[in-house]
Amino acid sequence: MLPAGFALLSGSPDIQHDHRPHRPAVALTLRSFLESLDRFRTRHRRRLPFLTPAVERRRPRIAAENYAARHSIEHTLDRKAELRRLAPTLPSAAERYHQLLTFELEGLRELVSALHAVAGDRELQECLAEAALQMERLEIEITWCDHLPGKDAETVAAPG
């Protein structure tokens, strides 16, 4: 009988001396590690609100405000179009249309004056140019509105 250490050195068939890495075991370990990571990434866990960024916390409220603003803008544009259609025949519509145009022009002028105070780049200059064109259009509309039949001389306001 040979000593136990001799059997290891002789390469007996009872003991395998395979020095290659055990790839299936490594692959299983890596796969289980990746699966564990995927479990941590799932969204079913309760998210703590104070850990989410501020914009994400405000997202539902911002969406609601955007919806309300869009609805308000669409309503105003519809009302403006309706007043423009009625202005030549209905003096009260002409007065209201004139008032609406005047308010819009004043707001646009305030916006432009505020934007001039900001140091800006090309996008700001494009915005200011677009605002100037819109102001010209509004002044033309106001002038048209001033010359409608049935327009009282006392309600006519000079543009500018």
Closest residue by Cα to residue 103 from 71, 136, 142, 63: 142
Residue at 141 is within a domain:
yes
pTM above 0.75, yes or no: no
67-123: pLDDT as tens digits: 888 888 898 889 999 999 999 999 999 999 999 999 999 999 998 888 887 767 888
Residue at 97 is within a domain:
yes
Question: Based on the structure, what is the number of domains in the chain?
Answer: 1
Question: Could you tell me the CA-to-CA distances from 47 to 51, 59, 61, 121 in Å, in that order?
Answer: 8, 15, 18, 40
Residue at 112 is within a domain:
yes
Residue type, 73: I
Residue at 16 is within a domain:
no
Residue at 27 is within a domain:
no
Residue at 3 is within a domain:
no
Domain coverage including residue 138: 53-146
119-160: pLDDT as tens digits: 678 888 888 889 999 999 999 999 998 988 766 544 444 444
Q: Quote the tokens at residue 60.
A: 């539902």
Residue at 100 is within a domain:
yes
CA 39 to chain centre: 31
Residue at 15 is within a domain:
no
Residue type, 45: R
159/138 Cα distance (integer angstroms):
9
Does residue 68 sit in helix, strand or coil? Answer: helix
